[in-house]
């Protein structure tokens, strides 16, 4: 499999899809937004973007299956699988707020082979494959060198299922707020994992997350020198329900906090 060829095709597709999102945002109709669950929304733009991406990827690699957020196609025993989020940060998009992005990854049964994330608002294209470095707009990126928790800049994600996550989130914020360099909430997991890869954040923490949110970011972070586990420290987290991404240097110290409070998660 020629990963260099594939990633160039996926990069071009991500850029085209990002242009579609930006163009649609100019005349976006909030009246057509659907609610999947409490505070969890999907728009006609998500669905159209996904159909367009799936059609192109099917032509690029016909033998691959799909795992997609909006369910356009599904995995059915294939050796290879595209993992697609056609619009990560839908709530941000609906409210004309940054960031929002497109995330596309290719995996086999054992590992992620390539990942591309295009953050539309800052016009930033992140990519990596398993045999190379991680890049943003053609420049090689690396995680930060921050090893002191008191100075760590940490991004949190709060999932839509507040009943399952609220108690843990409150404990997490209580443990970190005032004891780290800063906390932020931004609302687009795929982009934010890439921000850890680029050294903008030192860590990102979220539970109740989907594989389409993390697959591309996982390999970009890994090739940039970072680390991703679940809240128990298990690195086999591609299908986990909670994900902790970091520069690797603050990982163990933050992991102790996560493990302390993990028992109160309700999922």
148, HSE (Cβ side, Cα atoms, 13 Å): 3
Of the three residues 108, 140, 172, the one that is the final residue of a domain is: 140
Residue 11 has pLDDT above 80, yes or no: yes
- Tell me the three state secondary structure of residue 132: coil
User: What confidence tens digit (pLDDT) does each residue in 43-102 have?
Assistant: 788 889 999 999 999 999 999 999 987 666 555 568 999 999 999 999 999 999 999 999
Q: Are residues 17 and 66 in the same domain?
A: yes
**Same structural domain for residues 113 and 54?**
yes
Looking at the fold, whether 21 and 136 belong to one and the same domain comes out as: yes
Q: Same structural domain for residues 97 and 159?
A: no
Q: Distance between alpha carbon 131 and the CA centroid of its chain, in Å?
A: 20
Angstrom distance (rounded) from CA 229 to CA 214: 11
Question: Do 98 and 33 reside in the same domain of the chain?
Answer: yes
Task: Identify the DSSP state of 110.
Answer: S
User: Is-contact 98 123, C-beta < 8 A?
Assistant: no
| 112 plus 225 within the same structural domain | no
Let me know: does 118 contact 125? Beta carbons within 8 Å: yes
Is the domain of 23 the same as that of 131? yes
Nearest to 228 by CA among 219, 180, 187: 219
- 227 with 246, same domain: the answer is yes
Q: What share of the chain is helix, strand, coil (3-state, %, to 5)?
A: 40, 25, 35
CA-to-CA distance for 123 and 119, rounded, in angstroms? 6
Distance from C-alpha of 164 to C-alpha of 167, rounded to nearest angstrom: 8
Handedness of CA 194, 200, 203, 209 (dihedral sign): negative
Q: How confident is the model at residue 28 (pLDDT cuts 50, 70, 90)?
A: confident
- Does the pLDDT value for residue 31 go beyond 80? no
Which domain-ending residue is among 110, 140, 170?
140
Cα(110)–Cα(71) distance, rounded to whole angstroms?
22
Mean local confidence (pLDDT), 11-18: 98
Asked if residue 252 and residue 224 are part of one domain, the reply reads yes
User: Do 172 and 234 fall within a single domain?
Assistant: yes
Q: Cis bond leading into 99, ω under 30°?
A: yes
Neighbours of 138 (CB within 10 A): 7
Asked if residue 42 has pLDDT above 90, the reply is: no
pLDDT surpasses 70 at 233: yes
The enclosing domain of 223 has a CATH number of 3.40.190.80
Indicate the residue among 140, 160, 186 that finishes a domain: 140
Q: What is the pTM of this model?
A: 0.94
Structural contact between residues 173 and 183, judged by C-beta atoms closer than 8 angstroms: yes
List the domain range (segments joined by +) for residue 56: 3-140
Total number of domains in the chain: 2
Instruction: Output the domain CATH number for residue 23.
Output: 3.30.540.10
Torsion, Cα of 168, 170, 173, 174 (10° steps): -110
Q: What is the DSSP letter of 242?
A: E
Same domain membership, residue 188 and residue 129: no
Domain match, 11 and 113 both: yes
Statement: residue 171 has pLDDT above 90: yes
């Amino acid at each position: 499999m020629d990963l260099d060829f594939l990633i160039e095709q996926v990069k071009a597709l991500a850029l085209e899809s990002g242009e579609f999102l930006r163009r649609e945002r100019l005349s976006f109709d909030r009246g057509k937004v659907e609610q999947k669950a409490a505070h969890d929304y999907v728009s006609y733009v998500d669905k159209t973007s996904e159909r367009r991406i799936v059609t192109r990827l099917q032509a690029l690699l016909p033998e691959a299956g799909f795992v997609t957020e909006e369910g356009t196609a599904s995995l059915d025993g294939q050796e290879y699988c595209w993992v697609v989020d056609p619009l990560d940060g839908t709530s941000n998009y609906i409210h004309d707020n940054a960031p929002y992005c497109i995330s596309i990854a290719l995996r086999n049964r054992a590992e992620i082979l390539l990942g591309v994330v295009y953050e539309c608002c800052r016009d930033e294209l992140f990519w990596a494959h398993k045999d190379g470095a991680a890049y943003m707009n053609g420049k090689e990126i690396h995680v930060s060198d921050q090893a002191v928790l008191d100075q760590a800049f940490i991004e949190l994600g709060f999932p839509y299922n507040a009943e399952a996550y609220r108690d843990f989130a409150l404990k997490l914020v209580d443990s970190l707020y005032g004891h780290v360099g800063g906390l932020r909430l931004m609302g687009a997991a795929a982009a934010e994992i890439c921000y850890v890869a680029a050294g903008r954040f030192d860590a990102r923490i979220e539970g109740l997350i989907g594989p389409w949110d993390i697959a591309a970011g996982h390999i970009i972070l890994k090739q940039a020198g970072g680390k991703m586990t679940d809240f128990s420290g298990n690195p086999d987290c591609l299908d986990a329900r909670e994900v902790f991404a970091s520069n690797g240097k603050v990982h163990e110290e933050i992991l102790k906090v996560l493990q302390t409070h993990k028992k109160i998660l309700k999922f």
